[in-house]
Amino acid sequence: MRHAFHQQLDDLIVGIADMCGAAGQAMEAATQALLQADLLLAEQVITDHELIVQKARTTEEQALTVLALQAPVAGDLRAVVSALKNIADVDRMAALALHVAKLTRRRHPEKVLPEEVNGYFTEMGRIAVDMGSNVKQVVLSEDTHRAEQLADDDDDMDNLHRHLFTVLMDREWKHGVAAAVDVTLLGRYYERFADHAVEIGRRVIFSATGESA
Amino acid sequence: MRHAFHQQLDDLIVGIADMCGAAGQAMEAATQALLQADLLLAEQVITDHELIVQKARTTEEQALTVLALQAPVAGDLRAVVSALKNIADVDRMAALALHVAKLTRRRHPEKVLPEEVNGYFTEMGRIAVDMGSNVKQVVLSEDTHRAEQLADDDDDMDNLHRHLFTVLMDREWKHGVAAAVDVTLLGRYYERFADHAVEIGRRVIFSATGESA
């Protein structure tokens, strides 16, 4: 029975790790679409999002099945509930990549971003993609070192996000309010993406060690 | 055993309803603080937020206890998992009220909002508070009529949010980019608050009737 439980929990974890990978890839493609005003790529992210939603649903059903069949208690129960929360976070990460793609599509054939802030979003995108790949590894391996890396990446993301606001708020900003509104929303999408990745990392490490990352 | 389960589930539901009430009150106070640049009130929201976080933690522990002691299956299991998700949504609603209060504090003694958009936020605040109170009743009574009301309120919120953007994007906007950035973020906080309330309402109705609201 315990063996069956651990097998099912492992399957669940692999499912969540796959979702993390998919969310990271979605953000990678969405960022490229954003930077290049690439409509086809944006459409691809929007279409593929349905696959992640579907995966979230089946992974959640797996978690419910484990609860129903194994009736885990104590640490085992917490591990499954933690998995349920991770599914919600990664689902949200994918939704944020979707938002980036949708804004890209809405402004097409215009670029959403003024040239001046391209560098910020290139870098925020790079960090987000790294975090997607790191959080996948943390979920699979409970690697505390990588979980710390997630927190460091989140700090970098927050710094970029703050700098971005100083660029926006500067009197030298010449791109008007409409562009500033888009940049504000996009900045928030990347920042929230990172927050959810950190949240998953923290939960995995806490689950594994009983200590906060 | 079944009786004990239903008693515990009821307690859990009351806890979640209380949280919905508290999140609505937090948004009410945060909106008033925002509109009046009332620092004391903003501080109060920020301090009281800790109580909601604490309540979320204890309510989640209750849910885990129900799972561990009762090992519910089928519909009963779904009801508890649905409760866990509702806790996460209402926790996020409270965090969004906190964001409004924090932005108010950051800009004090200046008002965050240009006079011109006060009306939007008065109305978005009113809708958010109504939704907090409606979602509380939906959680307690599984009242499908009120759940539909939540969806209608969310439509109103989305319309206001869209109009707000047209005001921001208008060439007549005279308040500069910094104010536009704040207004963009605030608009998003109210819109997300409404989304989470709708999500809870939908989940409760689906749980109760097996049909989407």
Q: How far is A168 from chain B (nearest CA, A)?
A: 7
Compute how many other C-beta atoms are within 10 angstroms of the C-beta atom of residue A183: 26
Query: Of B35, B33, B79, B25, which Cα lies nearest the Cα of B193?
Result: B25
Confidence bin at B210 (pLDDT 50/70/90)? confident
| pLDDT score of A213 | 53
The pLDDT of residue B1: 59
Residues 6+ apart with CB under 8 A from A16: A59, A83, A86, A87, A90, A139
Residue from B1, B92, B164, B184 whose CB has the most chain A CBs within 10 Å, to mutate: B184
Chain B residues in contact with A181 (beta carbon < 8 A): 165, 168-169, 180-181, 184
| Sequence-ordered list of residues with C-beta below 8 angstroms from that of B4, at least 6 positions apart, any chain | B69, B70
Domain covering A2-209: architecture? Up-down Bundle (1.20)
> Domain spans of chain B?
2-209
Give B137→chain A minimum CA distance, Å: 25
- pLDDT tens digit string along A159-211? 999 999 999 988 889 999 999 999 999 999 999 999 999 999 999 988 888 76
How does pLDDT run across A107-142, given as a tens digit for each residue? 999 999 999 999 999 999 999 999 999 999 999 999
Q: Exposed (0-12), middle (13-18) or buried (19+): which is B110, by Cβ within 10 Å?
A: exposed
Contact A183, B195 (CB under 8 A): no
| Rounded mean pLDDT, A70-97 | 97
Look up the ipTM and state it: 0.94
First to last CA, chain B: 31
Q: What percent of chain B has pLDDT over 70?
A: 98
Decide if B74 touches A, using CB distance below 8 A.
Answer: yes
Nearest chain B residue to A176 by CA distance is B177
Within 10 Å of residue A159's Cβ, how many Cβ atoms?
10
**Tens digits of per-residue pLDDT, B151-182?**
999 999 999 999 999 999 888 899 999 999 99
Residue B171: which H helix or E strand, with range? none
pLDDT at A46: 98
Residue A167 in contact with partner chain B when CB distance is under 8 A: no
